[in-house]
């Protein structure tokens, strides 16, 4: 119900009829300002009741634009009344002194509707302001993400490259600007090549920070290793990273595969933390998944990761893929998709060939491409996509 402080303006010629009409309007406790002309209305008027005889025809439009207005008339056939309605005024009442209750109800209704309209306008203005601020923050976040993506790409190893007779190449595509997938392969000495392949849970900045931590820790552990007992290096890396992630308390975990290639023995020492899919070793034209199991890194304390290993033939291809690749494969079950991946890896002689076999076209931009920040189709990826291939020893430069 309108409050006592809401002012209703009454435009009518001065006299007993106007006074009677003002008294009727004031019956609901409203304040009434009775004037003869539009210009005399107080600034705090919220609604106008205008008699058709008191307002010139040419003034109806200005009145309608200024305030919500009810028109009253003593004659239904009044031509001025019709002019007022055509000008867009709210409503009209015939013989208002006889229908005082109806007039007061209409006044209450118009004031309420006007208040709601003002509130909606305020909400729209507020929403527009919030949207503008949100767009500004999103633009700043996008720039930060792009800058972070550029830094993350600088941490990736050069590609392709040959280390101790083993060729290394990869293809990494983040679903956002930053990736939770990460990898590295490095030369330790003339005998050992070290590598790892990681998939951090989630997307975006927090997952990318874990990949930076992984890069830093791997450098530290590599410098601390004396080159002895290569079979123990991968388990120690995983156990150490597990402790580091738990100590940070950021709630992130990762799946990892850590390997040491012994060029002298042609042997792969490795350990894994719930890697899916498992790496595929292609030898003599046949592909098989490596064996072994291990817990994810960063979920449970005091986890031990067993040392694993397998012999490497003179010519081999070792494929490592993130779980995002499974979204690109046909098959109703996980087993069917893993078998499809095995068959395609077996038939692919190069990284580009496997990409073509997965129907991952050239419109998806590599993470280290100059266009990575501007690729529109990246937004459609369900997950980060990463493939790494290590091959040898046929290219041994010894």
Over residues 12-35, the mean pLDDT reads 86
Over residues 340-361, the mean pLDDT reads 86
Yes or no: say if 389 and 282 are a contact pair by the CB < 8 Å rule: no
Fold designation for 155-392: Phosphatase 2c; domain 1 (3.60.40)
Name the pTM for this structure: 0.69
Looking at residue 394, what is its pLDDT?
73
Residue 1: pLDDT above 60? no
pLDDT tier for residue 375 given thresholds of 50, 70 and 90: very low
Q: Which of 247, 261, 6 is nearest to 108 (CA)?
A: 6
Q: Which of 363, 361, 352 is nearest to 387 (CA)?
A: 352
Give how far the C-alpha of residue 89 lies from the chain's centroid of Cα atoms, to the nearest Å: 47
- Percent of the chain exceeding pLDDT 90 equals 48
Ranges of each domain in the chain: 7-121, 155-392
- The angle at the Cα of 210, spanning 205 to 212, to the nearest 5 degrees, equals 90
Query: Higher confidence at residue 338 or residue 206?
Result: 338
Kindly report the three-state secondary structure assignment for every residue of 74-133. Answer: CCCCCHHHHHHHHCCCCEEEECCCCCHHHHHHHHHHHHHHHHHHHHHHHHHHHHHHHHHH
Biggest CA pair distance of the chain? 117
Residue 247: pLDDT above 60? yes
The pair of three-digit structure tokens given for residue 143, joined into one six-digit string: 């720039």
Yes or no: say if 32 and 26 are a contact pair by the CB < 8 Å rule: yes
Most confident of 17-26, 245-254, 299-308, 358-367: 299-308
Query: Higher confidence at residue 339 or residue 369?
Result: 339
pLDDT tier for residue 381 given thresholds of 50, 70 and 90: low
Residue 226: pLDDT above 90? yes
If you count DSSP H runs as helices and E runs as strands, how many of each does the chain have, helices first?
8, 16
**Range with the poorest average pLDDT among 150-154, 158-162, 291-295, 317-321:** 150-154
Over residues 267-273, the mean pLDDT reads 97
Over residues 262-276, the mean pLDDT reads 96
Fold designation for 7-121: Rossmann fold (3.40.50)
Each residue's pLDDT tens digit, 33-80: 898 888 888 888 888 888 888 888 788 888 888 888 888 888 776 666
**Range with the poorest average pLDDT among 56-60, 266-270, 287-291:** 56-60
Strand partners, 268: 261, 310
**Range with the poorest average pLDDT among 100-104, 156-160, 264-268:** 100-104
Per-chain mean pLDDT for the chain = 86
Residue 383: pLDDT above 70? yes
Looking at residue 206, what is its pLDDT?
83
Element (DSSP H or E) covering residue 352: helix 351-357
Q: Which of 213, 185, 186, 211 is nearest to 198 (CA)?
A: 211
Using alpha carbons, list the distances in angstroms from residue 383 to 147, 173, 274: 20, 9, 18
């Amino acid at each position: 119900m309108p409050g006592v402080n809401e002012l209703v303006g009454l435009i009518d010629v001065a006299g007993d009829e106007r006074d009677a009409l003002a008294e009727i309007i004031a019956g609901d406790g409203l304040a009434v300002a009775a004037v003869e002309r539009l210009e005399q209305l107080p600034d705090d008027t919220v609604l106008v009741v205008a008699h058709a005889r008191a307002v010139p025809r040419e003034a109806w439009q200005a009145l309608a634009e200024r305030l919500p207005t009810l028109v009253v008339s003593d004659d239904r056939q009044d031509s001025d009344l019709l002019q007022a309605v055509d000008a867009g005024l709210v409503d009209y009442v015939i013989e208002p002194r006889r229908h005082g209750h109806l007039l007061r109800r209409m006044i209450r209704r118009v004031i309420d509707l006007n208040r709601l309209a003002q509130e909606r306008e305020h909400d729209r203005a507020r929403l527009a302001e919030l949207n503008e601020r949100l767009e500004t923050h999103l633009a700043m976040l996008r720039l930060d993400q792009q800058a972070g993506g550029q830094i993350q790409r600088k941490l990736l190893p050069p590609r392709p490259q040959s280390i101790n007779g083993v060729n290394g190449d990869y293809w990494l595509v983040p679903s956002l600007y930053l990736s939770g997938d990460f990898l590295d392969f490095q030369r330790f000495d003339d005998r050992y090549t070290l590598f790892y392949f990681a998939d951090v849970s989630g997307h975006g900045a927090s997952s990318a920070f874990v990949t930076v931590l992984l890069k830093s820790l791997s450098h530290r552990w590599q410098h601390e290793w004396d080159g002895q007992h290569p079979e123990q290096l991968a388990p120690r890396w995983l156990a150490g990273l597990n402790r580091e992630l738990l100590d940070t308390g950021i709630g992130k975990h990762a799946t990892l595969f850590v390997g040491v290639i012994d060029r002298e023995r042609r042997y792969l020492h490795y350990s894994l933390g719930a890697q899916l899919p498992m790496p595929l070793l292609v030898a003599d034209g046949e592909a098989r998944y490596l064996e072994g199991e291990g817990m994810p890194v960063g979920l449970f304390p005091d986890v031990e990761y067993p040392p694993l290993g397998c012999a490497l033939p003179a010519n081999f291809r070792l494929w490592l893929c993130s779980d995002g690749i499974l979204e690109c494969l046909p098959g109703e079950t996980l087993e069917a998709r893993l078998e499809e991946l095995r068959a395609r890896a077996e038939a692919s002689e190069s990284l580009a060939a496997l990409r073509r076999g997965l129907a991952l076209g050239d419109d998806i931009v590599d993470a280290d491409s100059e266009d990575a920040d501007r690729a529109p189709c990246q937004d459609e990826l369900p997950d980060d996509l990463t493939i790494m291939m290590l091959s040898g020893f046929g290219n041994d430069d010894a």
